[in-house]
């Protein structure tokens, strides 16, 4: 059996219906991984430990944990307690006592960690070939590079071995491998996700990035990781999250034709031209502009004093044993010994000037869209001119963290040779949600699938129902696997997604009535309580009337506010009908209440 893990919601739905358990997922994926490229991984979690974790998860209900049994991987510069962290360098290896903050949060959410992935040594590279642990194969053509430095994380997702993976992104390491493997690579605003427990490249610029097959899954993972961390000095509270509205047809800056740089790669240029059409189809207003300032900033990252941060992060090892580093890595990092404090201040002033000049740019545009890379190389080519070719791959990526931008690399086209290509959508700091919303629209318009599964159809971030259909929120006996779910199925309804209400609802128990079982009554109240779980089901609008005839007072259909602020039709209860009924809000959902009731002594 080959397990499809690309969609978090579809995998969770299989758990909820009882057709799948985490233990079975462990066995299937372990077998699939054994048959795959071993260079994807630096360290895999032993199968007996995975089974133990699966059994622990099976003590819970899938509704109890947002990432219940969802398989994931992390780049090997991210600490996992009890597992070696190498950062792609065997002599650097150590075994941490504590999880990194990101791993800690994901495990608390119920996710299933399969292992630590290969990477360019010390996250110094965009090629994916600078590792003593081998070179992960590009998911589409093993003759080509996988992209780096988060090479293993990207290929693990692209080949369907995990539902999502974490990488890091200082100069493009979370975007380039996503582009080369037909994935989404999201780089958040600096400090939005904690870097505590992550081996630094440039500590003041580093970001943890997310690889996934669809924006909905990126959004789910980001929601769990978006926590201010007082133990990370570069963590930033997100109370300043931008709350304005992006126009329905946002203004998107493209680069002037005379600034196009594809390093002689005509197929990459043709793919970018197709990608511009995708942006227009998605409803964006594109306009070419002079982007010289962005490229000037990009030069500062490696030509300026920030390279000293890379030397600082590795200096204990490099000063003791320079032979422990690969030649390309050593050449780049040793350059960090030379900048002086005067150089650092001079570069800071220069960067501040660029940032000031770009203030007007962001008044005129909502987003910037550029090719993620200008080309791709064969692995054999990289051997002969690695540093220059690596620099070429960073042409459109290196300025991002210096300018404090967020962005998402997404697949928008395929080249003539069958390799994927894409663009990165950039936005100012704390515009993460706006970038995700429009990346979702672009990805849906592009129809490029995800990873090696070009036929994969991503689910919309906003649950936009097609014409002549209606999305219905259910939170009781109509949910998957419960007693009235068959009513929805007989009316042709299809499961869409698990969702949460906003925090302004309470839930009460309505007694059984005739042939109807005990049901929950969802009542909207003035005080905030806690989000309550439910499901969205999509049905043909013409069948909605048949469902209404089965609903008896005090239940009815009304607008229900979801956690993200959107509103959908859903089951709700007249407050008068819930009077003096048992309040079960603290159980956090109908399934949890039924589970607790079942466990009560008779």
Residue with tokens 């490029």: 448
Catalytic residue among 7, 12, 75, 209: 75
Cα 200–chain centre separation: 20
Of 60, 397, 104, nearest to 227 by C-alpha is 104
With H, G, I as helix, E, B as strand and everything else as coil, classify residue 291.
coil
Catalytic residue among 7, 149, 153, 275: 149
Whether 149 sits among the annotated catalytic residues: the reply is yes
Q: Parallel, antiparallel, or unpaired: how do β-strands 164-168 and 71-75 relate?
A: parallel
Q: Are 396 and 424 in contact (CB under 8 A)?
A: yes
Whether 173 sits among the annotated catalytic residues: the reply is yes
Half-sphere exposure of 188 (CA within 13 A, CB side): 27
Alpha-carbon dihedral 581, 585, 586, 588, rounded to 10 degrees: 140
Structural tokens at position 358: 């770009």
With H, G, I as helix, E, B as strand and everything else as coil, classify residue 345.
helix
Whether 579 sits among the annotated catalytic residues: the reply is no
Q: State how far the alpha carbon of 281 is from the alpha carbons of 51, 270, 423, in Å.
A: 46, 17, 15
- State whether the Cα torsion 178-419-43-317 is positive or negative: negative
Cα 551–chain centre separation: 39
Structural tokens at position 354: 């660029």
Half-sphere exposure of 506 (CA within 13 A, CB side): 15
Cα 114–chain centre separation: 17
Cis, peptide link before residue 149, omega less than 30° from 0: yes
Active site residues per annotation: 75, 149, 173
């Amino acid at each position: 059996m080959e397990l499809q893990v690309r969609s978090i919601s579809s995998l969770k739905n299989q758990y909820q219906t009882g057709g799948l358990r985490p233990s079975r997922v462990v066995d299937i994926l372990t077998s699939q991984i054994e048959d795959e490229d071993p260079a994807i991984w630096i360290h895999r979690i032993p199968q007996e430990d995975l089974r133990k974790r699966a059994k622990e998860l099976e003590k819970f209900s899938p509704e109890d944990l947002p990432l219940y049994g969802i398989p994931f991987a992390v780049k090997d510069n991210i600490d996992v307690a009890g597992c070696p962290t190498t950062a792609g360098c065997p002599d650097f290896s150590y075994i941490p006592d504590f999880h990194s903050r990101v791993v800690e949060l994901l495990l608390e959410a119920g996710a299933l960690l399969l292992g630590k992935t290969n990477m360019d040594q010390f996250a110094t590279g965009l090629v994916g070939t600078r590792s003593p642990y081998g070179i992960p194969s590009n998911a589409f053509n093993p003759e080509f590079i996988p992209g780096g430095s988060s090479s293993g994380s990207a290929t693990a997702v692209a080949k369907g071995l995990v539902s999502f993976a974490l990488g890091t992104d200082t100069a493009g390491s979370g975007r380039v491998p996503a582009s080369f493997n037909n994935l989404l690579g999201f780089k958040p605003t600096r400090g939005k996700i904690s870097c505590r427990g992550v081996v630094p490249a440039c500590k003041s610029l580093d970001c943890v990035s997310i690889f996934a097959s669809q924006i909905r899954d990126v959004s789910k993972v980001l929601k769990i990781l978006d926590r201010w961390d007082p133990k990370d000095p570069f963590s930033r509270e997100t109370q300043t999250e931008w709350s304005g509205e992006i126009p329905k047809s946002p203004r998107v800056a493209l680069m002037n034709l005379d600034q196009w740089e594809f390093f002689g790669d005509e197929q990459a240029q043709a793919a970018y031209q197709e990608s511009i059409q995708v942006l227009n189809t998605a409803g964006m207003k594109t306009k070419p502009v002079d982007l010289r300032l962005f490229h000037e900033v990009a030069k500062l990252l490696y030509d300026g004093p920030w390279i000293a941060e890379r030397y600082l992060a590795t200096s204990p090892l490099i000063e003791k044993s320079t032979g422990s580093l690969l030649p390309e890595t050593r050449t780049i990092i040793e350059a960090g010994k030379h900048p002086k404090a005067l150089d650092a201040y001079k570069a800071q002033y220069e960067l501040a000037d660029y940032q000031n000049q770009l203030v007007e740019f962001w008044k005129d545009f909502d987003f910037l869209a550029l090719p993620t890379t200008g080309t791709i190389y064969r692995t054999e080519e990289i051997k002969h001119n690695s540093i220059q070719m690596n620099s070429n791959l960073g042409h459109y990526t290196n300025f991002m963290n210096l300018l404090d931008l967020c962005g998402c690399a997404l697949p928008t086209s395929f080249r003539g040779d069958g390799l994927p290509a894409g663009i990165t959508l950039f936005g100012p700091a704390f515009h993460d949600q706006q970038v995700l919303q429009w990346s979702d629209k672009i990805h849906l318009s592009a129809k490029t699938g995800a990873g090696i599964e070009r036929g994969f159809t991503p689910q919309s971030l906003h649950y936009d129902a097609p014409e002549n259909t209606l999305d219905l929120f259910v939170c009781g006996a109509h949910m998957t696997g419960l007693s009235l779910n068959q009513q929805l199925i007989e009316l042709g309804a299809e499961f869409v997604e698990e969702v949460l209400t906003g925090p302004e609802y309470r839930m009460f128990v309505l007694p059984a009535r005739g042939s109807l079982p005990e049901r929950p009554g969802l009542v909207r109240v003035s005080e905030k309580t806690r989000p309550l779980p439910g499901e969205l089901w999509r049905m043909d609008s013409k069948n909605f009337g048949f469902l209404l005839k089965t609903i008896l007072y005090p239940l009815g259909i009304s607008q229900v506010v979801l956690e993200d602020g959107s509103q959908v039709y859903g089951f709700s209860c007249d407050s008068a009908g819930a009077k003096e009924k048992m309040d079960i809000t603290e159980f956090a959902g109908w399934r949890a209440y039924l589970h607790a009731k079942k466990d009560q002594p008779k």
